[in-house]
Amino acid sequence: MSKESTPVMAGVPSTRYVMLDSLTILRGPAALFVFFYHTRWAHVVPSASVGYVGVALFFVLSGFVLTWSYKPADGAKKFYLRRFARVYPLHLFFFALALAILVLTQEAPSAGATLSNLVLLHAWVPNWDYIFSVNGVSWSLGCEAFFYACTPLMLYWLSHRSERARYAVLTGWFLLTASVASAVSLTSNYADVVVYANPLLRSGEFALGMLLGLLALKVRDGELAMPPVRTWQLWAVTVCALAGLYGVSKVHLTHLTQTINGFVLDPVWFLLIGMFALHDIQRAQSHHQVGEPVPGNWICRSLMYFGEVSFAFYLVHEIVIFRFIKTSLGSDMIRMDARGILMMLIILVISILAAIIAHHAIERPARIMILKASTRTL
């Protein structure tokens, strides 16, 4: 839509530091999708059988947020330091915790798998025993580490290309990686899992998020006008996303691979993130609240808080699930009865409490400490 057709942004100051609160909120449901998938509750929680697609939402969201927040003037060194401070301390803590449990239960992985997991290179190894070693969910951090490494270089390269070329390259990369990964995934279940976790083949989702981030920047700076996003439209796109998730879960049971399911829903995540981000930008502009969060009710604040601790929740939940279930039930499967419901609720509460503690005791203090120390050396 052209700037002339809908001059919504005219006369509004550039909201260069808009707080995209809605996107923080989206992190919570994405983490819960993965949680319910790992609890094996496919017959109880709707769409839990494809809950792993929550990771795809994280990847698209990551591409958007890093493109939105990247400051070329700070340089790549500061960018890498901030990402390290954001991700690695919590990874290191849960890596040590999971490894200690595995050693105590005589299930320790090989030295190669352990070391590759520690340095977040395990997702590159086409071997299940490496990809899901120690803390199984950390394979996605291996993908994120690759995305982080590419971000400054990619944004610099894109900045020297025409607008049309930027959009074409990012869209083309998503389509290429999705096509290759989907084709390989059809050859075997083993190949499906390997390509599903491969950082290079998942980078297309990050590129999709970058594309959305570039469009959002144009809206923020008044270069691209969009019609106002209403609350009912956010509800509508959320319902559509849930319907898409449910639909894919039904097809998944008989036809599609795990990799294809993830890519099929990526356009849905693109639309969902885009609508919520646009709503935040427009609302901040209408309130003239540059650099400050737009106030909300207690429900929004609660969802925001869960979004903030969702990274810790994501890293701890599988440790809680498999350690707790094996100890209590002697099985990796949660039973579909009253006891199973109680177990699931207990595991969920324990995971949330552990995430809150880790967020405040480890994640935030470590990040602050690393960034403060860096200011004396940079």
Assess whether pLDDT exceeds 90 at residue 346: no
Q: Return the residue matching tokens 């992190």.
A: 27
Nearest Cα residue to 259 out of 27, 52, 97, 86: 52
Tell whether 242 is covered by a domain. Answer: yes
Asked if residues 220 and 18 have their Cβ atoms less than 8 Å apart, the reply is yes
Tell whether 168 is covered by a domain. Answer: yes
Question: Which pTM does this prediction carry?
Answer: 0.87
Please give the structure tokens belonging to residue 25: 């909120």
Range of the domain at 146: 50-295
Domain count, the chain: 1
Q: What residues have CB less than 8 Å from 94, skipping those under 6 apart?
A: 135, 138, 315, 316, 319, 358
The pLDDT, as a whole number, for residue 120 is 96
Q: What residues have CB less than 8 Å from 159, skipping those under 6 apart?
A: 72
What are the distances in angstroms from CA 315 to CA 124, 215, 218, 237, 363? Answer: 19, 31, 34, 28, 12
pLDDT digits (tens, 9 = 90+) for 192-221: 888 889 999 999 999 999 999 999 999 888
Tell whether 13 is covered by a domain. Answer: no
pLDDT digits (tens, 9 = 90+) for 305-322: 999 999 999 999 999 988
What are the distances in angstroms from CA 351 to CA 47, 58, 73, 312, 372? Answer: 21, 19, 39, 9, 30
Tell whether 284 is covered by a domain. Answer: yes
Assess whether pLDDT exceeds 80 at residue 12: no
Tell whether 361 is covered by a domain. Answer: no
Nearest Cα residue to 176 out of 142, 211, 203: 203
Tell whether 6 is covered by a domain. Answer: no
The pLDDT, as a whole number, for residue 290 is 46
pLDDT digits (tens, 9 = 90+) for 143-159: 999 999 999 999 999 99
pLDDT mean over 257-286: 86
The pLDDT, as a whole number, for residue 38 is 84
- Looking from the CA of 43 toward its CB, the CA atoms found within 13 Å total 7
Tell whether 342 is covered by a domain. Answer: no
Tell whether 195 is covered by a domain. Answer: yes
